[in-house]
Amino acid sequence: MQTATAENVAATRQKFYDRLSPRAMAPLWEVLKGLVPDQPKSKFAPHVWKFADARPLLMEAGDLLTAEEAERRVLVLENPAMPGASRITATMYAGYQLIMPGEIAPAHRHTASALRMVLEGNGGYTAVAGERTEMKRGDLVITPAMAWHDHGQENHKPVIWVDGLDLHMVNFYEAAFMDHFNDKSQIVSKPEGFSESEFGSGMAPMSHRTPFGQTSPIFNYTYAKSRPALMQVAGAGEPDAHLAHALRYINPQDGGWAMPTIATWLTQFPKGFETKPIRATDGQAMVVIEGEISVELDGKTFTAGESDVVAVPAWTWKKVRASKDAVVFQMSDRAAQEKLGIFREERK
């Protein structure tokens, strides 16, 4: 009996595999390492988008087409490792959005949850579920899933913010829906500040209700409140070695993240402070609100100033150093990962 050679074994196995393919099957043992890696290997790259580069292009886009023509006039922040995918990280969409004076970005709603980190408010507004709120720099404005929303500017200066959406999570499940309102803007039926009064004052309605499901009923976490809270915490003790001074945005109804899929937090880095290395399974985006930082990501250093955006891929070693006192907004898919029980973090 002839001993089988390695070549014969390989050829026999390949013939078997060839019979599987037409039957829409494949051998797990041939693909297992790719399906279950030893540790995360992100396909995305660290990157920084400079607002000084983006703003002139945004303004040029403002001359090229109206907000109504575009529906949302946004320059998508495309991770350079995945051009054309409309992703800043594996699961997150982000972009710089512009509303010009006198414009309205038409009312619509969609399954994806959205947030806006305001860079230039100038009296612009967002309306969500019948309530309008003015947008100011540093405000975190949330649009819950399937909530009607429109944006506008009635003053003479442009409004610019960073969008963050979980649409790639929603699209992964093939669960996305979108509707357009029957008018440019929705009818404002509640006074400004209503949701803050009802849910954000340390009090709540006598009958428990969740107007936006698992999303916070507060849709504008104003910088006028979040910054003083952060700075008071920063002034009361030493910064955490890995996180500096950080406070997370919460849903007042359960104390969890403000959004069910997107984690959001605000960090203060004292001038000259450098964090110790940390990495986590969540892909992150950082928006500099004040000051300047350098971010070392797997040994490569990026400098980011006010309104710049930094992409931090999953499982990437990160160190942050502040060349000036800095306040940084951060968002990631950690909220979803924690619910799935897959979030993991390492610190040195």
Note the pLDDT tens digit of each residue in 179-194. Answer: 999 888 888 999 998 8
Alpha-carbon gap, residue 23 to 85, rounded angstroms: 31
- Inform me whether the pLDDT recorded for 332 exceeds 80: yes
Side chain identity, residue 89:
T
**What type of residue is 23?**
R
**∠ CA(99), CA(50), CA(91), 5° rounding?**
75
Instruction: Give the list of residues 6+ apart from residue 131 with CB closer than 8 angstroms, or none.
Output: 188, 189, 190, 191, 192, 194, 195, 219
Q: What is the pLDDT of residues 140-198, one digit of tens each?
A: 999 999 999 999 999 999 999 999 999 999 999 999 999 999 888 888 999 998 899 88
Task: For the domain covering 47-347, report its CATH number.
Answer: 2.60.120.10
Its pTM stands at: 0.94
| Residue (of 88, 86, 126, 94) closest to 108 by Cα position | 126
The helix (H) or strand (E) run that includes residue 59 is helix 51-64
Q: How many CB atoms lie within 10 A of CB 133?
A: 20
The pLDDT, as a whole number, for residue 7 is 87
What mean pLDDT do residues 254-279 have? 97
- Integer angstrom CA distances of residue 219 from 34, 117, 209, 293, 302: 40, 12, 16, 28, 32
Q: Where in the chain is the domain with CATH 2.60.120.10?
A: 47-347
DSSP state of 244: B
Residue 208, C-beta contacts closer than 8 angstroms, at least 6 positions apart = 253
Q: Where are the alpha helices (DSSP H) in 235-303?
A: none
